[in-house]
Amino acid sequence: MPIARPETSDSRIIAHVDIDCFYVQVEQRKQPHLRGKPAAVVQYNSWKGGGLIAVGYEARKDGVKRSMRGDEAKKVCPQIHLVQVPVARGKADLTIYRNAGSEVVSILARKGRCERASIDEVYLDLTDAAELMLKETPPESLESIDEEVLKSHVLGLNSNGKDEKETVREWLQQGDADHRDKLLACGALIVAELRLQVLKETEFTCSAGIAHNKMLAKLASGMNKPAQQTIVTSSSVKGLLETLPIKKMKQLGGKLGSSLQTDHGVNTVGDLLQFSEGKLQDFYGVNTGTWLWNIARGISGEEVEGRLLPKSHGSGKTFPGPSALKTLTAVEKWLKELCEELSERLQSDLEKNKRIAHTLTLHANAYKSTDADSHKKFPSKSCPLRYGAVKIQEDALNLFQGGLREYLGSYMGNECGGWGITNLSVSASKIIAIPSGTSSITKYFHCRDQLQSSSEPQNENLPVEDDLSSPIIGAESRHSPLHQTEQKDECGGEGVPTVNDTSGFDQYEPESKEEARGDFAGEAFRLSTGAESCPTSKHNEMKTSLPAKEMKMKCPNDVIRSNDRKRKITTKEKGTSSILKFLQSNSCSSSKQDTKCSSLGGQDQLDMVTTTQTSNRTDIWSYKVDEIDQSVVNELPPEIQEELRSLLRPKKRANMSKDSSSIANYFSPAKNK
């Protein structure tokens, strides 16, 4: 549900930066001979040439669209280069893209608060940097302005036949502009510089929107692509919104947007202006009504959250058409793959970022062959997350069984089978950061390294059951019965500096980018509120009492019933000269390129971790540490348990904030600002 937030200040400078045809650029960096040629990235399933998940701008000029499959793209553009997405565990492996996205984030985060919004997009709050520039080196004082800035598109600015760049220069340097426009001009200079830096360090071009709030910045960033930036002045907002189709607005791509269209004849955002705030509240309630009234006027107080890491990790796969999973054994096999991937990601997050997740959620889409009403949703189920691939797998299987039982409902007694799973995913959420630098944690990691280098079996008490190689980040989940596409990372966040990491999800096919992201928001919502959960003790009891192997020997329904007795699930695009110049001057051979890229990646990774740890401290303070599930703590090594508990204990004391020597005080927001 949209949340109405008043503007905290009408002079914020917010940028939305989106990497152009992201996967294609990553592949072009890997294979420089593809640069400047029509190219697309296809899913690993090669049916009809594979579904296109990213299309380069050269191919777009030839009419290739993301909705096509490889075969169709080749008909439209015979010279197109189709690159298959990397594959691991029988599904797409998005690691290379996740890492590339991290490189860009670490650069963009240098100038202001940075919120990773998806695998390839970022929001930046540049207010402080813009204010500083306005004070120290205002645009009107500059003798020359970089080409990249002069190519900006300033909404509402009319060159009246004059040279466009000259018109932009005059706008940027007008001494009598109001404070807000001056700040926007500074924002334009800062963003252009950041984009050039991204290009220099990563070889990726990106586009950006610069405005006074997130909503307007996001709307603008896609208006002029690739490698361009668009500025939304206050005076242009009305014109921008009055013709904007209602469904293009974030959060209005779904039911609410449809209701506005069909029930109230609202087809553009501007159409909303005919209704008073009270009327909109009558239609949709106080909060949504106010939110609608605000967005019609370009008002949005949504803050840019300091969030560089995933807020959740996920791994999923779709099984369209005949590939649907029809037996518990098949589900178990895939859960093993998905849980191993999830576990690797969790281990990596624990190692690199000292973060632990505490909720495991299973999502599935299913059908029932004999029931016309079988399209009803397969219920998502959650439980406390226990570290280790085997444990996660056991728990996920139990969650699946609980969900299946509920999904099948009254058919349970009569049938064994007759169902099919078309989408399966596991995710880990409620990720919290453990303060870094504490002795037992350091010792724990040291101990872990030793265990890993040993051929002895690993200590059961340690949350280490996987190979620790997978990096971080995340995605959305959709599927279509015929098409398969890879899942795009998506970031979101809560509490700690995070981004939703469900990038492990395989194959999703949103009709549009907006819709995809909207759906992910829905997914995140379900993760936190809609999924049911099972209490820890009973849950653990169940796992020990009925091993997975035993379960798969039984008829699914019998197994489900049997398990249920043992536990109770309660609830719960124009090219641009300076960039082209750069690309020409920086083309390099394939091998040279690879070396350069990997070294850049390593450094950036380091930068990112550093930034993250800093922000983690701040966010730990705001996270409700008291809500950490004890069962999660219980699964950690004893010394970490002890340390976490000592962190939890003082937080509950009323006089804690007065204790200057306390950990709580050390991590207080003031100290980290």
Contact residues: ligand TTP, CB under 6 A:
18-23, 53-54, 119-120, 225-226, 485-488, 509-510, 513, 516
**Pairing, β 229-231 against β 355-368:** unpaired
Are 77 and 59 contacting, i.e. CB atoms less than 8 angstroms apart? yes
Q: Considering beta carbons, is residue 68 or 356 the nearer one to ligand TTP?
A: 68
Minimum separation from the CB atom of position 573 to ligand TTP (A): 8
* Three-state DSSP class for residue 371: coil
Instruction: Give the chain's length.
Output: 673
Report, in Å, the least distance between residue 516 CB and ligand TTP: 5
| Catalytic residue list contains 541 | no
Q: HEC profile for 142-171?
A: CCCCCHHHHCCEECCCCCCCCCHHHHHHHH
Give least dist CB 76 to ligand TTP, A. Answer: 17
3-state secondary structure 430-462: EEEECCCCCHHHHHHHHHHHHHHHCCCCCCCCC
Work out how close the CB of 478 gets to ligand TTP at its nearest, in angstroms, rounded to a whole number.
Answer: 7
- Which CB sits closer to ligand TTP, 488 or 539? 488
Q: Where are the beta strands (DSSP E) in 336-418?
A: 355-368, 381-384
Task: Produce one character per residue of 383-421: b if its CB has 16 or more CB atoms within 10 Å, e if not.
Answer: bbbbbbbbbbbbbbbbbbbbbbbbbbeebbeebeebbbb
**CA–CA distances in Å: residue 434 to residues 388, 500, 660:** 18, 18, 20
Q: At its nearest, how many Å lie between ligand TTP and the CB of residue 142? A: 30
Least Å distance, CB 106 to ligand TTP, is 18
- Cα 374 to Cα 422: distance, rounded to the nearest angstrom: 12
Cα dihedral 516/522/528/533 (nearest 10): -100
**507 vs 45: CA distance, rounded Å:** 9
- C-beta of 509 vs 643, nearer to ligand TTP: 509
Q: Which is nearer to ligand TTP, 409 or 481 (CB)?
A: 481
Whose tokens are 């390099």? That residue is 588
- Cα–Cα distance for residue pair 491/272, rounded to 1 Å: 30
The residue from 27, 58, 121, 305 that is catalytic is 121
* CA separation for the pair 617, 445 (Å, rounded): 20
Q: How far apart are CA 644 and CA 618, in angstroms?
A: 17
In angstroms, give the least distance from the CB of 311 to ligand TTP.
Answer: 18
Nearest-approach distance from CB 507 to ligand TTP, in angstroms: 9
User: Phi-psi region for residue 430, left (φ > 0), alpha (ψ -120 to 50) or beta?
Assistant: left
Q: Is the dihedral of CA 428, 430, 436, 440 positive or negative?
A: negative
Token pair 């899913």 is found at: 43
| Closer CB to ligand TTP, 23 or 621, in the complex | 23
523 residue type, one letter = E
Cβ proximity to ligand TTP, 123 vs 444, nearer residue: 123
The distance of closest approach from Cβ of residue 226 to ligand TTP in the complex, given in angstroms and rounded to an integer, is 6
Answer whether 188's CB lies under 8 Å from 152's CB: yes
- To the nearest whole angstrom, how small is the minimum distance from the Cβ of residue 345 to ligand TTP? 18
Phi, psi of 636 (to 5 degrees): -85, 165
| Cα–Cα distance measured from residue 290 to residue 272, given in angstroms and rounded to the nearest whole number | 11
| HSE of 91, CA atoms in CB hemisphere, 13 A | 29
DSSP 272: G
Tell me how far, at minimum, the Cβ of 252 lies from ligand TTP, in Å.
18
SS (H, E, C) 599-664: HHHHHHHHHHHHHHHHHHHHHHHHCCHHHCCHHHHHCCCHHHHHHHHHHHHHHCCCCHHHCCCCHH
Shortest Å distance, C-beta 535 to ligand TTP: 37
What are the counts of helices (DSSP H) followed by strands (DSSP E) for the chain? 26, 17
Question: Which residue, 101 or 306, has its beta carbon nearer to ligand TTP?
Answer: 101
* Contacts (Cβ under 8 Å, ≥6 apart) of 594: 30
* Distance from C-alpha of 264 to C-alpha of 275, rounded to nearest angstrom: 10
* Other residues' Cβ atoms within 10 Å of the Cβ of residue 627: 11
Residue closer to ligand TTP by CB (options 340, 486) is 486
Tokens of 201: 């360090």
47 three-class SS? helix
Minimum CB distance to ligand TTP smaller for 17 or for 338: 17
Tell me which residue of 12, 22, 4 sits closest to 210, measured CA to CA. Answer: 12
Nearer to ligand TTP, 125 or 486 (CB): 486
C-beta closer to ligand TTP: residue 227 or 392: 227
Cβ closer to ligand TTP: 98 or 543? 98
Active site residues: 121
